Structure 1
Amino acid sequence: MKINDIAAPFRKTAIVAACATVLTAGTATADEHNLKIGMSFQELNNEYFVTMQEALESAAESIGAEVITTDARHDVSKQVSDVEDMIQQDIDILLLNPADSVGVETAVLAAEEAGVTTVAIDAQAEGPVDGFVGSKNYDAGYKACDYLAQELGGEGQVALLDGIPVVPILERIEGCNDALAEYDGIEVVDKQNGRQERTHAMSVTENMIQANPELDGLFSVNDIGSLGALIAINSSGNDIKLVSVDGHPEAVAEIQKDDSQFIATSAQYPADMVRVGLGLALAKHWGAETAPAEIPIDVELIDRDKAADFSW
């Protein structure tokens, strides 16, 4: 049995809850115009978000809705402009994946003023959003770093590869720090921003290894950054164990290798996340009074034993 088959009943609980809220809202009238859904991504140069985009397009097609997607490229000013453009195109629903949780508030306010239902996806957004669906990011950081500490035998020097200032990243770091703090023999010796980018993370990791030659472990806030970090680790020749968050196919492939120093990732479920987000947005759009404000999505630690049977 595949790990996804085992995890599915637990992950689908949130999906069922979201669909139930849509049903309580009632069905849209037959003469209502076709729904137009806009989704603004913080980036689309990442298979995690591409998986999310494909799931959204499939779900929207099943209900006869039109979809508009934009790529902020980690530029919150561009994201605000993108959202304003979508509002001008008369979107009914905005699914917002913030490039900056605080800086995107201008876009949220503009959507509210235009009467657009807004649900934040993956990262929470400041301002009057109608709902939020995201992974349990504290758990993701905690699970990865607890596993790292155990694999280090509860002793050693660990560095943290941080990322952009959005709530999920902050929560992953918090969870990691709390897990490592439970091991008296673990010392966090460095934390730097890898920007969640492969090339930059590689350079940052090279610097951290040079500054901390006794480094034993590294936590990266995302898999794309971790893949850059892995290049630096391998080039150093040092024995440094690496853990991360996401479940990206490239990361999972690396974890499967017997000689890899990439030992685990806390996997997210991007397709489920956006489907649940759309369900919540539809419920809010159609007036459901019992729809929740937030729906958390579980994460799963994928180590070498589980990697072969895991995929998004």
Structure 2
Amino acid sequence: MRLPARTPRTLFVAVAGCALVLTGCGKGDGGGSSGGVSLGFVNGGDTNFHSCLQKAVESQAKTEDAKVYTANSHQNAGTELSNIEDMISRDVSALIVQTVNVDSLKGDIAKAKAADVPIYLTSVTTDDVDDILGAAVVDLKKAGALDAGWIGEDAAGKGVKVGIVAGAPGAASDLLVGGFQGALPATAKVVANQPGMFNPAKAQDVAENMIQANPDLDYAFVANEEMAFAVRKAFDAAGADDVKIVTVNGTDEGLAAVRSGEFSATVANSAKVIGETAVKNAVALLGGKGTDDNNVDKIANIPLVLVTEDNLGEAPQYCPK
């Protein structure tokens, strides 16, 4: 029963009208493990995940004695490419990119390769890893599948109805939702699947319509915790407080919601670990300390933890303090 409520050159793309931020030490400052590396970090959006990811990148860059420029693409593929072009013009050592859409990567990588600027990816990777410096990868399909597996166990063979509040089309959301749907048991029927655009207000509207059309909904999969709180609010307001919500992130607030029963489960994939891994490995790979030296894997897999009220203590720290 639910209790009452809540790499050495990394490039970050800058948008017109969007301030470019510089932290750390510049080239020629001397010292440090990075040897004067400058990184460009191109963030993909404005969610809590993106904010925590940037904090982690900036913090680890200081540890590596590296300069880092940051920019935000605000879920716009055109802006992402413009940001990458701007970073290239700043002569960064490498680009770190949290893409807005995996379909955008071909153009992004081609532009960077033409300028001889290596790209290190966060969250996702490409089919041809020879085209990139490396990646800190979150198996998003697996994250969705873990939530689906929890529903399968909880439903215990009964026929159930499931709603999906996706994020923005492309990249993370498509992979999450695809993994979730592919792992649902045959007894679970998806009766609604709409994008919340990683926007809580939009997600709340979607949830209100969803529960009105499907008052007997049993479960909802929501593509991040920020939206999940809005979905919970909408369901509760409609008297559907028995709909069980599963989601993704593992923030402090999300874990508290699992503890209170607002969420039944969340999949922890630490933005802190992703950002730190990206900078640390990018710098090492730029310095030639790759897989052949048994120091750094080109493709680093970020751990995932399905968190329920039974294992809250296993969740990693999500955001740098």
C-alpha contact 1:117 1:284 (8 A) present in aligned 2 = no
Which range is displaced more, 96-105 or 235-244? 96-105
Task: Give yes or no for the alignment of 1:149 onto 2:160.
Answer: no
Match of 2:176 in 1: 172
Task: Give yes or no for the alignment of 1:133 onto 2:136.
Answer: yes
Q: Please give the residue correspondences for 1:224-263 in structure 2 after superposition, counting only pairs within 5 Å.
A: 224-238=226-240, 239-258=242-261, 260=262, 262-263=263-264
C-alpha contact 2:123 2:274 (8 A) present in aligned 1 = yes
Per-residue deviation, 1:91:
0.6
Task: Give yes or no for the alignment of 1:160 onto 2:164.
Answer: yes
**SS across alignment from 1:266:** strand
C-alpha contact 1:202 1:231 (8 A) present in aligned 2 = yes
2: CA distance, partners of 1:232 / 1:126: 39
Aligned positions, number: 279
2: CA distance, partners of 1:126 / 1:62: 31
Match of 2:102 in 1: 101
Match of 2:271 in 1: 270
1:134-161 Cα shifts (integer Å, max 9, x gaps): 2122221111121123223332101112
Residues 30 and 236 of structure 1: CA distance in aligned 2, closer, same or farther (over 3 Å): closer
1: CA distance, partners of 2:313 / 2:259: 7
- The match for 1:304 among 287, 309, 312 is 309
- The match for 2:187 among 185, 188, 192 is 185
Match of 1:91 in 2: 92
**SS across alignment from 2:70:** strand
Q: Give aligned-pair identity as a percent.
A: 24
Match of 2:286 in 1: 285
**SS across alignment from 1:57:** helix
Structure 1 segments, 4+ long, off by >4 Å, are 29-33
Per residue, is there more helix in 1 or in 2? 1
C-alpha contact 2:43 2:73 (8 A) present in aligned 1 = yes
1: CA distance, partners of 2:212 / 2:83: 41
1:181-211 Cα shifts (integer Å, max 9, x gaps): 3xx4321212111112111111111111111
2: CA distance, partners of 1:292 / 1:53: 22
1:239-279 Cα shifts (integer Å, max 9, x gaps): 21000011123222222214x3x111001011111222223
2: CA distance, partners of 1:142 / 1:293: 25
1:48-83 Cα shifts (integer Å, max 9, x gaps): 222222222221112211011111111111121111
Task: Give yes or no for the alignment of 1:213 onto 2:215.
Answer: yes
**SS across alignment from 1:298:** coil
RMSD: 2.4
Match of 1:41 in 2: 43
Match of 1:53 in 2: 54
2: CA distance, partners of 1:175 / 1:154: 20
**SS across alignment from 2:310:** helix
TM-score in terms of structure 1 length: 0.81
C-alpha contact 1:123 1:166 (8 A) present in aligned 2 = no
Which range is displaced more, 144-153 or 64-73? 144-153
Per-residue deviation, 1:307:
3.4
2: CA distance, partners of 1:171 / 1:265: 16
TM-score in terms of structure 2 length: 0.79
Task: Give yes or no for the alignment of 1:72 onto 2:73.
Answer: yes
Match of 2:14 in 1: none
